[in-house]
Amino acid sequence: MIIREQTDVLLKEARKAADMAYVPYSKFRVGAAIMCADGSIVVGCNVENRSFGLTICAERNAIASAITQGKIKFTAVGISTPDSFEPVGPCGACRQVLSEFMPPETPVYFAGNGPDQVNTTIGNLYPFDSLHELKK
């Protein structure tokens, strides 16, 4: 799959996942789509709780779903925040979790509902990843 097709597919699937988000408090939907090494896509959405610390982010939800399916190798991530005009990147906890399962060169795409989109990598989102630094 060429990069543009990959980006479009992941962001489309992430947007569909965002539509399923449970966000009665923030009203801020997030969807994530993770491309697995076998070419399949696993999605997740954010699930809020009135105790915000118990909220589950879309990216971590997608990773957990993939792992329950026996998938642990991933090749790209798409994140959609349709309630924001501007693209919104993953939170720090999600950056940490994504870096656990993906090498620094893994592509990450994120978009809001405006025309802009960010195309970056795990390494750019999380540049001083101790897990990978310690392996050197």
The CATH number of whichever domain residue 86 belongs to comes to 3.40.140.10
The active-site residue, picked from 5, 13, 48, 59, is 59
Using alpha carbons, list the distances in angstroms from residue 122 to 60, 75, 117: 14, 11, 16
Residue 132's pLDDT is what? 62
In the predicted structure, residue 71 carries a pLDDT above the cut 70: yes
Q: Which two tokens stand for residue 5?
A: 């097709």
What's the confidence (pLDDT) of residue 57?
97
* In the predicted structure, residue 131 carries a pLDDT above the cut 70: no
Read off the pLDDT band of 128 (50, 70, 90).
confident
Task: Judge whether 105 counts as a catalytic residue.
Answer: no
- Its domain, for residue 37, covers 3-135
Split into its structural domains, the chain has a count of 1
Instruction: Report helix angle 92-101 to 58-68, nearest 10.
Output: 30
Cα dist. 9→2, 19, 50, 51, 130 in Å?
11, 16, 32, 33, 31
Q: Tell me what the pLDDT averaged over the chain comes to.
A: 93
Token couple for 54: 């118990």
